[in-house]
Amino acid sequence: MRRWLSGRIANHPNHHSAGRVDITAGHPGAHTAGGADHQYHGHHRPLRGAVLVQALRTGGLVLWMRHTERDDRSGTVTLEQAAAHDCAAQSTLTDTGRQHAKQIGAAIRALHLPIAAVRTARLCRTETTGRLLRIAPITTDDRLDASSTWVGRGGAAAQQRATLQVLAEAPPAGTNVVLVSSILDIPAPQPAVLHDLGPGETAVFRPGPAGKATLLARIGESAWPTLLQAVISPAPTPATR
């Protein structure tokens, strides 16, 4: 079970990167190897704390989130299962995963972030995550579907093109769009961070021409409350007489 308000996540045996919290507001030890600065383009360094919150409030960003914790059943989904929204044979969120999705959504609402839409892959675990966030209207987008659904519709190359296309699409002015998917499980994925996200982790991008989206930050699953803490003004100190 991960702990929430600390801004850290305990290591989880089912995923190698579940313990990562790359961006935690004002947390000096938050930047880990998984979120190394080489993932950020040029001289750009990841946004943190109140600066990150201000960017999110300004809008114009795409937040790519991996679904929260799922059960141990296979994550492989066929194109037919995805199209039919058939959850009988798919993995679904655990109780912990459902709780964390609700907590992430509550933090996003408390931060007053302008979210225009939530778009999810046609997977039960991503659709459930998106629904439990309760932050904006939800639709599905087959470009976000798992790699197993791309067999017969162009494979890895087509999925890569679709991913870059999605990241090139700017949200409505002054708003952000949240995308909920699974890891980008293809050879040499671009952006590489999409292969490396832990459950519930979010990569924040500024859209650009296909292949030119800029990674601004990575927000670990449990880091949202610390972002909220970073922008809460402390109570004024009583004047000394």
pLDDT in tens, 203-221: 999 999 878 999 999 999 9
Tokens representing 145 are 């579907």
Residue 223 has pLDDT above 90, yes or no: yes
Q: Residue 122 and residue 117: Cα distance in Å, rounded?
A: 16
Residue 22 has pLDDT above 50, yes or no: no
Count of CB atoms situated within 10 Å of the CB of 151: 11
Confidence (pLDDT) at 240 = 53
First to last CA, the chain: 48
Confidence (pLDDT) at 174 = 98
CA 208 to chain centre: 18
Q: Which CATH class is domain 33-230?
A: alpha beta
Query: Model confidence at 76, in pLDDT bands (50, 70, 90)?
Result: confident
Residue 222 has pLDDT above 50, yes or no: yes
Query: Model confidence at 161, in pLDDT bands (50, 70, 90)?
Result: very high
Confidence (pLDDT) at 10 = 30
Residue 37 has pLDDT above 70, yes or no: no
Query: Model confidence at 239, in pLDDT bands (50, 70, 90)?
Result: low
Query: Model confidence at 5, in pLDDT bands (50, 70, 90)?
Result: very low
Helix intervals (H) in the chain? 49-58, 79-84, 95-110, 124-133, 155-167, 193-196, 224-230
pLDDT in tens, 88-145: 878 899 999 999 999 999 999 999 999 999 999 999 999 999 999 999 999 999 999 9
Confidence (pLDDT) at 32 = 33
Of 57, 34, 53, 10, which is closest to residue 222 (Cα–Cα)? 10
Query: Model confidence at 238, in pLDDT bands (50, 70, 90)?
Result: low
